[in-house]
Amino acid sequence: MIRMKTLFQNIFSEVIGKNVNVQSFQSLSGGCIHQAYSVRTNQGAFFIKLNEKNKLDMFQKEEHSLDALRSNSGLIIPQVVTVGQFENYAYFISEFIERGQASKKYFEHLGTGLAELHQVSNKNYGWKEDNYIGELVQKNKETELWLDFFFEQRLQPQFELAIRNQLISSSYLGQLERLKLKLEDYFPKEKSSLLHGDLWYGNTLASLDEKAALIDPAVYYGHREIELSFMKLFGGFDASCFEAYHEVYPLESNWEDRMSIYNMYALMVHTNLFGKHYFEEVKQTLSLFA
């Protein structure tokens, strides 16, 4: 405890100034990659994440993603103070958002805000740089067609990683190629949408005034249905969130029929991060479509 408080004092003194005084800190749960803490000082409360020094790029890409969301969203996006390195650590410091109640008002604000965010578009799918989904590199080469982007920048890299890690057989690449051929006219023709990119329930939070905040993004321009599908995959979001979304930016009535295809990406990421039991659902989808 004393060692961590000294570490925080040294980091904050370097970042904010010698007059800052770390008063207390608390370890936060929810993340599986970084050490996360709330730190209270005489100059306010902050959120800080720590990792090994060579993980600085992850924090820099997260800052870029948060900046993109803040510039294009009416949702609460935490302001980044700085990212950097100190001794053997990389660190990420932002404002600390006090948590409130996940009420219907919160879910409606989230749904409306996402619908507005998803109307921010780009001529191509992808992003100006690769970033990270969890601790895995997320490829974002800009691509004209969603089908090509989804397979070449999303599914194929995750399948290849799983094969290299001996989690799945190389024969699944052939199934993936056959699947792509069958999906030529599968996805609705829509303009691209700016996406959070990793929107499970743990990457949202309610503020004290029941507004919605987004954290830990991995932004890119993609098909908005993939974002909504991932939100449904592990649950946690109230129906009022999707209803509020639909009022602002209606989805096709059959969009949920495509969720199993979209969620192959999230499930492959989980396969590579947490184990091959997540691949069972991917296998089921492949058997149905390919």
Closest CA relative to residue 33, chosen from 90, 83, 78 = 90
DSSP 38: E
Mean pLDDT of 108-122: 99
Convert the pLDDT of each residue in 37-85 to its tens digit. Answer: 999 999 999 999 999 999 999 999 999 999 999 999 999 999 999 999 9
In the three-class reduction of DSSP (H, G, I as helix; E, B as strand; rest coil), residue 199 is classed as coil
pLDDT of residue 27: 93
Fold classified for 2-95: Phosphorylase Kinase; domain 1 (3.30.200)
Average pLDDT, the chain: 96
Mean pLDDT of 242-261: 97
In the three-class reduction of DSSP (H, G, I as helix; E, B as strand; rest coil), residue 135 is classed as coil
Q: Where are the alpha helices (DSSP H) in 150-195?
A: 156-164, 172-182
Structure tokens at 94: 């932002």
The residue whose two tokens read 């507004």 is: 211
The DSSP bridge partners found for residue 22 are 41
DSSP 155: I
In the three-class reduction of DSSP (H, G, I as helix; E, B as strand; rest coil), residue 105 is classed as helix
Judge whether 2-95 and 104-289 match in fold: no
Using the predicted structure, report yes or no on whether residue 31 has a pLDDT greater than 70. Answer: no
Structure tokens at 155: 């599914």
What residue ranges do the domains of the chain occupy? 2-95, 104-289
Using the predicted structure, report yes or no on whether residue 105 has a pLDDT greater than 70. Answer: yes
Residue range 104-289 in CATH 3.90.1200.10 = yes
In total, the chain counts a number of residues equal to 290
pLDDT of residue 1: 64
pLDDT of residue 144: 98
Q: Grade residue 289 by pLDDT with cuts at 50, 70 and 90.
A: confident
pLDDT of residue 75: 98
pLDDT of residue 30: 59
Closest CA relative to residue 5, chosen from 22, 30, 29 = 22
Using the predicted structure, report yes or no on whether residue 87 has a pLDDT greater than 80. Answer: yes
Q: Grade residue 3 by pLDDT with cuts at 50, 70 and 90.
A: confident
Residue positions annotated with a catalytic role = 198
